[in-house]
Amino acid sequence: MDPNAEKLNVLRTFKIGSFHIGSAFADMLTSAVWIGIALGGIVFDLANLITRVPHLAYGSVFLLSAAGFVVCIGILARVDAPGFAAGCVVMQEPALAMADG
* Number of structural domains in the chain: 1
Q: What is the pLDDT of residues 44-77, one digit of tens each?
A: 999 999 999 989 998 998 999 899 899 989 998 8
Supply the pLDDT for residue 56.
92
- pLDDT value for 49: 92
The boundaries of the domain holding residue 82 are 3-100
> 43-65: string of b/e by CB count within 10 Å (b at 16+)?
bbbebbeeeeeeeebeebbeeee
User: Quick one: pLDDT band at residue 22, thresholds 50, 70, 90?
Assistant: low
